[in-house]
Each structure stands twice: as C-alpha cells, then as structure tokens.
Amino acid sequence: MAGIKVGVIGVGRMGQRHCRVYANLRGAQLMGVTDANPELGRKVAQQYDVPYFAKLEDLLAKVDAVSLVTPTPFHADLARRCLDYGVHVLVEKPIAATLAEAEALTAAAEASGKVVMVGHIERFNAAYMELKNVLETLTPLAVNFRRLSAFAGSNTDVDVVLDLMIHDTNLVLDLVGAEPIRVDAYGLNVASSTIDHATVNLGFAAGPLVNLTASRVTEHKVRRIDVTAREAYVECDLLEKSIYVYRATVGEYLPHNHRGVKYRQESVVERIQVPIFEPMFLELQHFIECVTEGKPPLVSARDGLRAMALADQISRQIRADLVRIGPALAVPAPAAA
C-alpha cells in the first residue's frame, strides 16, 4: 500500500492506538516501531506485521514521519533527533517536560521546515468542533472546564496540570483566541508528591471568565465544557459526545392543547447533532494530510508551546502554595488477570 511511510516511537497503551489507526489509514504505510522495552516492541510489531527496530536511527532511516508516544521526559530529545533526520513528527502532548525544553523544541521545529504537530487530541473531538460552531452565534460570558479522573492509570511522571489540564489550556486558548491577563491557581497534593487536584480562574481582557478544574483523585471520569452565554446556556460532554443548548423564550402562552388548556413555555432545549468520529483517526489523518500537502497542522509546535506556557504558569503558582492533604492515598494494585 503506497502512502506516507510512518513509524511509531513508544508502543505503550497510547502508542498501540497510533499503530492501529496507521495500519488502517489511507495514505499512510506503517513501516515499523521502536520501544525501550524490546519484548513489548516485538510483540506489537508482530501484531501489525512490521519490523521492530531496537535503535531509533534504524527506524528513522525507513520513514517519512513518526508518532512520538513516549513518556513526557523523553519528548524533547527524541523529537530533536527525528528532526535531525529530516522526519516529520507528531509528538504526544505535552510537547515537552519543561517550558525551556518546549521553547527549544519549538524553535527547532520552526527552523526545520518539517511538519511538527502536537497531539492535543481534544481539538479533534467532534463534540468540541461542534461546540465551536454553536458558539459562533453566541456571546460567551463564562466558561467552565472540568476534567476529572481516578488516580489509577494516570500519567504519574508529571503533575495533574501537565497530565490532564494541559488539554484544556490548549482548548481555552483556541476557544478565546487570546492570552489571559490574570491567572489565579490553587491545588492539592493528595495521592502523590505533586499536584493531584487543581482549580484555576482565568481572566481575559475582553472576557469571558474561565474556570478550569483538573483532578486525578475522583472515581468519576468527567470531560465537560459548560458555557454561560448572553443568549443561552450550553452543556458539552466530550466523553458522551453530546451538546445541549438551553435558550430562554419570550414566555408567551402557546396555543390550546387537545384539552383546551394553554401553557407557558419557559425555555427551549436544543440537542445538537454530533457526528460519530474517532478523534485519534481524525488527528492522524490530519497529520498525514499535512505531511502530504505541506500545510500547517491544526496544532503546531507553537500552539503546544502556548498551552505548555500557560500550564507552567499554573503549576508554578500552585506549587508556591500547595495544600497537602495528609499522607498519600493508597492506590489499590490492579487485580491479577
């Protein structure tokens, strides 16, 4: 099958999802994988009938583009090595582990002439894309982002701001189209030695008011954006792929029903049709199109840096006054298979 030759660097849970999509994506040809764990790397390579490369450079010599899906601390170094080989890169979020690394990688990406895209997958969530369409005709006054998860399965090599809230720092910058002029952030240390629960208030020169909450100590998974607009109230569930718009009416009495009784309608609820698409499919398809057509990606390295800079500002403010809630919670080990 002809197409852009791609490889996957890091084949943990997320990396395997990249492999699955590439193996079925028109315009892409999965050429191989590499991973620090040879046993896992060979197992995944066998599953997709591609070679496992023990050395990164051997994979880079065979491909046009890669997905970089390793733990965050390795992003900056590995992405630079890919660019040095002249390979296009999709690097999973966050773009790097530190702001300094993110700035250096962004400079290298922009100087390389290659497509460098950051995997902020929520930008390809059909519910978010439809929400943006809905908001085009509204005047947002306040926006509330909530991203809650259980601790088990979290990316514990970074705090909850870089693990979860980084999604929403990217979304809010995209949604508002401006940088905040005020950041008030607070957090708790509950289940680890770093920030596990964070809440942030953002102020923008022309509005709206924005609140972000990210937690990895809840047992209920939540991914929501609620918007209070001048004309309506909007609920967007990124997990359920649903959008409801609540609009006030003029409050007039409606015609008689079949019993001859009039009733007063107080509001109208609209359920927006959200297309059923897998966000990762749309994300990787977009990456391949950018490589093929030479067009800029929806989420560039510069966009990843902006999200990282806001997240870094939030983390630094929280760490300066982090509230510690007793000893770290005991997280039960997974049950044996």
Task: Tell me the DSSP string of 94-136.
Answer: SS-SSHHHHHHHHHHHHHHTS-EEEE-GGGG-HHHHHHHHHHT
**Whole-prediction pTM:** 0.88
pLDDT value of position 260: 62
Q: 222 with 147: CB under 8 angstroms?
A: yes
Q: Which has the minimum average pLDDT: 12-16, 151-155, 208-212, 245-249?
A: 151-155
Domains of the chain with bracketed CATH = 4-120+280-297 (3.40.50.720), 123-277+309-324 (3.30.360.10)
Task: Please state the φ and ψ torsions of residue 267, each to the nearest 5 degrees.
Answer: -155, 165
Mean pLDDT across the chain: 91
Residue type, 334: P
Calculate ∠ Cα 285-291-294, nearest 5°.
Answer: 125
Alpha-carbon distances, residue 11 vs 38, 40, 41, 53 (angstroms): 10, 7, 6, 12
277 versus 323: which is more confidently predicted?
277
pLDDT value of position 17: 98
As to burial, measured by CB atoms within 10 angstroms (0-12 exposed, 13-18 middle, 19+ buried), residue 293 is exposed
Whether 261 shows a pLDDT value over 80: the answer reads no
pLDDT value of position 151: 83
- How does pLDDT run across 119-176, given as a tens digit for each residue? 999 999 999 999 999 999 999 999 999 999 988 766 667 899 999 999 999 999 999 9
Give me the percent of the chain exceeding a pLDDT of 70: 89
Between CA 304 and CA 301 the distance in angstroms is 5
- How does pLDDT run across 231-243, given as a tens digit for each residue? 999 999 999 999 9
Whether 265 shows a pLDDT value over 80: the answer reads no
pLDDT value of position 253: 54
pLDDT value of position 69: 98
As to burial, measured by CB atoms within 10 angstroms (0-12 exposed, 13-18 middle, 19+ buried), residue 327 is exposed
pLDDT value of position 331: 44
Whether 204 shows a pLDDT value over 80: the answer reads yes
Residue 264's SS3 state is strand
pLDDT value of position 332: 45
pLDDT value of position 333: 44
- How does pLDDT run across 285-304, given as a tens digit for each residue? 999 999 999 999 999 999 99
pLDDT value of position 321: 83
pLDDT value of position 194: 87
Task: Please state the φ and ψ torsions of residue 269, each to the nearest 5 degrees.
Answer: -110, 125
Kindly state the average pLDDT of the residues 90-95. Answer: 96
